[in-house]
């Protein structure tokens, strides 16, 4: 089969929309702004929210750069994966429907991406809903380790052909973490961008991080990362996956999901007992994770 040909210089944003109409105000706001000519947007909207679908249909009809695909997936992982089928551009990114990307800044950065760069990691602002954006400071990436402590796929831009073999699992939560683990980014060429490319919003009642079923999917993702750890042939890859695993356990700890921590630790112990070198890699990953976390709080 001949390799797929992508539109040179174009960026497609895949946006899963699995929320009620009250939660997509940021999305509608930036969609109604003038959009750069080299941007395409694929809106993968879940039919579970018919009012949202209807509003998006009205918005899409007014702009040729927008494409609406209606799905029945009920989770952002499967919805993202379906939306990828419609990507024909050289570059792709994955934004959330409740956030506010800096579209102009992202397109400016994309214009200067070097031919050998597979993906870039940008800075972002973490803002609480209802607070002025000026209060949110920019969090800039320092190195590749950052994406294993805070995966946040929304602040990344990928060369489309570089991610063809990675997949989003059908999860409510942590689907981007599994995607990054499958991508094995330590084997790719990347660049860091200090400027803020994205405004990440917190403080919503409907946020998936508040959904008990989503927490169960975080547990599933831990099992998936453990499976990838066992198969990973490189030492550096195992350390990075160890960092990601530590971050996932931290998420459970923050939510006081002690029973889930106990269950998932048993999985980690099983694979480390079989391989002392794997245990050492996970330990090194954990140490690196906590070093960076403590450094941020100094």
What are the CA-CA distances from residue 289 to residues 124, 179, 241 (Å)? 19, 20, 11
What are the CA-CA distances from residue 152 to residues 96, 156, 178, 192, 231 (Å)? 10, 8, 12, 14, 24
Which pLDDT score, from 0 to 100, does residue 297 have? 43
Which pLDDT score, from 0 to 100, does residue 298 have? 44
Token duo for residue 128: 């609480």
Torsion of CA 41, 90, 101, 19, to 10 degrees: 40
Cβ-count burial of 209 within 10 angstroms (0-12 exposed, 13-18 middle, 19+ buried)? Answer: middle
What are the mean pLDDT values of the chain's consecutive 10-residue runs (298 residues total)? 78 94 91 93 94 94 92 92 96 95 94 95 85 69 90 95 96 94 97 93 65 82 93 94 90 80 82 79 80 56
Q: How far apart are the first and last CA of the chain?
A: 53
Fold of 7-208: Spore Coat Polysaccharide Biosynthesis Protein SpsA; Chain A (3.90.550)
Q: Assign 3-class secondary structure to 49-66.
A: CHHHHHHHHHHHCCCCCE
Q: Assign 3-class secondary structure to the chain.
A: CCCCCCEEEEEEEEEEECCCHHHCHHHHHHHHCCCCCCEEEEEEEECCCHHHHHHHHHHHCCCCCEEEEEECCCCHHHHHHHHHCCCCEEEEEECCCCCEECHHHHHHHHHCCCCCCCEEEEEEEEEECCCCHHHCCEECCCCCCHHHHCCCHHHEEEEHHHHCCCCCCCCCCCHHHHHHHHHCHHHCCEEEEEEEEEEEEECCCCCHHHCHHHHHHHHHHHHHHHHHHHHCCCHHHHHHHHHHHHHHHHHHHHCCCHHHHHHHHHHHHHHHHHCHHHHHHHHHHHHHHHHHHHHHCC
Q: Which residues on neighbouring strands pair with residue 17, listed in sequence order?
A: 45
Q: Are 70 and 53 in contact (CB under 8 A)?
A: yes
pTM check: above 0.85:
yes
Parse the chain into domains and list their residue ranges: 7-208, 211-296
């Amino acid at each position: 089969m001949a390799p797929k040909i992508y539109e040179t210089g174009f960026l497609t944003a895949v946006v899963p929309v699995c929320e009620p109409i009250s939660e997509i105000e940021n999305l509608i706001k930036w969609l109604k702004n003038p959009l750069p000519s080299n941007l395409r947007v694929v809106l993968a909207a879940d039919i579970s929210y018919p009012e949202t679908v209807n509003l998006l249909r009205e918005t899409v009809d007014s702009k040729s750069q927008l494409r609406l695909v209606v799905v029945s997936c009920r989770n952002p992982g499967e919805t993202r994966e379906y939306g990828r089928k419609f990507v024909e551009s050289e570059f792709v990114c994955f934004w959330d429907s409740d956030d506010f990307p800096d579209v102009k800044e992202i397109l400016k950065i994309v214009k200067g991406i070097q031919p050998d760069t597979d993906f870039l990691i940008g800075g972002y602002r973490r803002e609480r809903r209802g607070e002025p954006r000026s209060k949110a400071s920019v969090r800039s990436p320092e190195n590749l380790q950052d994406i294993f402590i805070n995966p946040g796929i929304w602040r990344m831009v990928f060369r489309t052909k570089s991610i063809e073999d990675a997949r989003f699992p059908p999860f409510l939560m942590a689907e981007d973490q599994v995607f990054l683990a499958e991508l094995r980014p330590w084997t790719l060429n990347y660049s860091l961008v200090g400027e803020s490319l994205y405004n990440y919003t917190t403080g919503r009642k409907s946020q998936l991080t508040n959904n008990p079923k989503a927490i169960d999917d975080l547990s599933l993702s831990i099992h998936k990362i453990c499976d990838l750890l066992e198969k990973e042939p490189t030492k550096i890859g195992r350390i990075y996956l160890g960092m990601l695993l530590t971050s996932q356990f931290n998420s459970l700890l923050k939510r006081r999901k002690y029973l889930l921590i106990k269950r998932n630790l048993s999985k980690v112990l099983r694979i480390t007992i079989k391989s002392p070198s794997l245990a050492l890699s996970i330990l090194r990953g954990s140490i690196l994770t906590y070093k960076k976390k403590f450094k941020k709080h100094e």
